[in-house]
């Protein structure tokens, strides 16, 4: 009986924090490109509207102003993304195709051009792709296993955040505390992706997810290359899952930042939808699935921003 009890205790060992999301060391932070970092910190980011999240419910208009929608030649959405500066969008590498034509911002309800609340109306805005700078795909991206499935899109002009005050960037993880995700923390997913029965959501959806130890996904998907470039994510109690049209959409959570003596919170993007390996739309089984780990690519992001900004 003693042996069985000890064995059970060993199997229930609580994983180390870095099994969820590797925290950066000082060298990682020092290797951020200073110009790229300045571009990310140029504007206020990740503003929080205080609404309670629930599964599969419509987002409040303007709740997530960094949401981007990638459009094809027929102006049909096929992937998501996030605004990270006035000129750049972060998305999944597998979303960069020859059919990519433009990026839409400020969208809420797809079926209407103008979205209105009781007090305000807003219209979506379409931006083209910079003709002199192709989208930048992570050099280690592998289409066979979605390794480093992350990319940057440079727009053909800057987003004027004052003119389009319903559009704003999300924060990226630039300080150690941004990486300190705990199992109890709520991660938020937003997108218009395909739902059950392959139907697109007309209105932006939102839901909660939880992070799991990386070895859970390694054991479930032994044929896939799973390392620190991935996050192991599981549906929360409200059964939120990502679907095909959600690819590139941001996964984010609330992090602290200081203004003088005061500590406030904003949203920081920690991942993006890459592949829900082993998941079908509407499949709410208990198995976790994988997201691209944005924090693991921050050195590349800051350097790529610098080079793409100046068209190097």
Beta strands 121-123 and 230-235 are: unpaired
Output the 3-class SS for 13-42: CCCCHHHCCCCCCHHHHHCCCHHHHHHHCC
Quote the tokens at residue 307.
Answer: 């080079």
Marked catalytic residue, from 82, 138, 149, 246 = 149
Tell me the C-alpha distance between 253 and 187, whole Å: 5
Tally of residues, the chain: 312
290 within 8 A of 231, measured Cβ to Cβ: yes
Q: Which helix (H) or strand (E) holds 137?
A: strand 136-137
Tell me the C-alpha distance between 208 and 158, whole Å: 31
Identify the bridge partners of residue 205 per DSSP, sorted by sequence position: 58, 191
247 belongs to the catalytic site: yes
202 belongs to the catalytic site: no
224 within 8 A of 202, measured Cβ to Cβ: no
Marked catalytic residue, from 82, 229, 242, 247 = 247
DSSP character at residue 171: B
55 within 8 A of 190, measured Cβ to Cβ: no
Marked catalytic residue, from 94, 108, 138, 166 = 94
Contacts of 124 (CB under 8 A, 6+ apart): 104, 105, 106, 107, 108, 113
94 belongs to the catalytic site: yes
212 within 8 A of 219, measured Cβ to Cβ: no
Tell me the C-alpha distance between 183 and 236, whole Å: 11
Phi, psi of 302 (to 5 degrees): -65, -40
Give Cα separations from 218 to 136, 209, 215, 290 (angstroms). 28, 19, 5, 10
Residues with a catalytic annotation lie at: 94, 149, 247
């Amino acid at each position: 009986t003693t042996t069985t009890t000890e064995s059970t205790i060993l199997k229930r060992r609580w994983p180390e924090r870095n099994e969820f999301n590797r925290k950066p060391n000082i060298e990682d932070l020092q290797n951020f490109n200073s110009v790229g970092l300045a571009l990310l910190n140029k504007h206020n980011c990740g503003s929080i509207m205080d609404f309670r999240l629930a599964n599969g419910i419509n987002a409040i208009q303007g709740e997530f102003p960094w949401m981007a929608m990638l459009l094809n030649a027929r102006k049909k959405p096929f992937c998501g993304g996030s605004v990270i500066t006035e000129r750049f969008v972060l998305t999944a590498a597998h979303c960069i195709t020859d059919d990519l034509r433009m990026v839409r911002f400020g969208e809420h309800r797809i079926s209407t051009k103008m979205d209105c609340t009781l007090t305000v109306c807003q219209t979506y805005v379409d931006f083209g792709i910079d003709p002199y700078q192709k989208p930048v795909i992570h050099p280690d991206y592998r289409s066979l296993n979605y390794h480093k499935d992350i990319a940057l899109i440079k727009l053909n002009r800057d987003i004027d955040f004052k003119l389009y005050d319903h559009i704003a960037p999300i924060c990226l993880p630039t300080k150690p505390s941004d990486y300190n995700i705990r199992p109890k923390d709520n991660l938020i997913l937003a997108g218009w992706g395909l739902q059950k029965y392959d139907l697109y959501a007309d209105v932006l959806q939102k839901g909660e997810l939880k992070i799991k130890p990386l070895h859970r996904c390694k054991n479930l998907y032994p044929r896939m290359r799973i390392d620190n470039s991935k996050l192991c994510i599981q549906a929360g109690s409200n059964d939120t899952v990502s679907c095909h049209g959600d690819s590139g959409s941001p996964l984010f959570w609330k992090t602290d930042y200081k203004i003088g003596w005061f500590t406030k919170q904003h949203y920081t993007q920690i991942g993006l939808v890459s592949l829900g390996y082993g998941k079908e739309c509407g499949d709410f089984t208990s198995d976790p699935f994988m997201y691209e780990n944005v924090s693991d690519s921050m050195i590349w992001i800051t350097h790529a921003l610098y080079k793409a900004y100046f068209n190097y």
